[in-house]
Each structure stands twice: as C-alpha cells, then as structure tokens.
Amino acid sequence: MAGVWIMNFIRTLFLMLCMGAALAQPVARPFTDAARGPAPIMETTKPPVLGNAINDDVRRTRNYTWQPPTIPHRVDGYQVDKNFNKCMDCHSRTKAEVSQAVPVSVTHYMDRDGHMLGQVSTRRYFCMQCHVSQDAVRPLVNNTFMDVDALILKSMRSQSGAQATQKN
C-alpha cells in the first residue's frame, strides 16, 4: 500500500516539476523602465536636458523630522570644493544676518561621535549629497507616502466613523 502511495506521490511531484519548468520558460516581454524607457539595460540612454530648477524662494514642508529640506533656489555654478564652499557663504551661522539664509543646523557642526566642531563637519561639507533643488516635472514612479499628520487624521476619521456606527 505504502509503496503505491509513494509511487503516486513521486509521479505527481515529477508532473508538477515539468509543469513548473514549462511555466518558467522566459517570456519575451519588452523591457520598459519609467526612467530609461524601452532602452535595453546594456545600452546608455540619452538623459533629457535639465530644465530650470524651481527658484521661488518658498521653503517647503518637510515630510518627516529628519528630512533634509529641499533647496528652494537655483544653485547652478555654485563652487563647492576644497578651496571654497559657496553654500556656506550664505548659510553659515555668521553669514545668515547678511544673507537672510536659514543657517545650517547644529547637526552640521557635529562629527560622527556627536562632538561639536568649530566649523562645518566634513561629513556635511558636500551639501548636495543631501539637499537638492526641485524641478517641476511629473514623478516617474508613483508613491503613496503619507506624512504623520495625514495618518493621524485618517485614523481619527476611521475611529469617529466606528463610533458613529456603534451609536446607530
């Protein structure tokens, strides 16, 4: 009895494996990527010309506490190298009065062990590693991110909805 059962089991397993192999055959589907278009992965695409970055000087809402704020002004041609940091020419603590720029926060003067330095920390020297200007373009990838305020509002709404149905 057990032998027959095992035989059947092995046969079914074998059939399933065959079906799996048939299904796993590569299907020739054209490759498309939101950023690259249909260009094959081994080919270099021609990136679109950069537009003019938004320059409206309006500071934007941050989506979460530790988000580096986006840059609300153009930064074309600003020199940031070992000789000079154009950003700090306006954003350093001492220049803020004249430039009316937002001075960089205290974290920018800390080394990775939390020690306070007299000048901007080397790990915060290249500002555009974290801060970027914005372009008025359509997002390539959809995104359903909700910030904490929106989440709280949503949960309050669903709670009051639940209470309303309880009362009825």
Q: What is the DSSP letter of 12?
A: H
CB-wise, 39 or 72, nearer to ligand HEC? 72
Q: How far is the CB of 102 from ligand HEC (least distance, A)?
A: 4
Q: Find residue 9's DSSP bridge partners.
A: none
- Which of 105, 155, 158, 163 touches ligand HEC (CB under 6 A)? 105
Give yes or no for a contact between 72 and 56, defined as CB atoms under 8 angstroms apart: yes
Q: Which of residues 108-147 bind ligand HEC (CB under 6 A)?
A: 108, 120, 124-131
CB-wise, 42 or 116, nearer to ligand HEC? 116
Residue 102 within binding range of ligand HEC, rule CB under 6 A: yes
103 Cβ contact list (under 8 Å, min separation 6): 91, 92, 93, 95, 96
* Number of residues near ligand HEC (by CB under 6 A): 34
3-state secondary structure of 159: helix
CB-wise, 16 or 102, nearer to ligand HEC? 102
- C-alpha 160/C-alpha 166 separation (Å) is 10
- C-alpha 59/C-alpha 54 separation (Å) is 11
CB-wise, 39 or 90, nearer to ligand HEC? 90
Write out the residues near ligand HEC by the rule CB under 6 A: 57, 59, 66, 68-69, 71-73, 75, 78, 85-91, 99-102, 104-105, 107-108, 120, 124-131
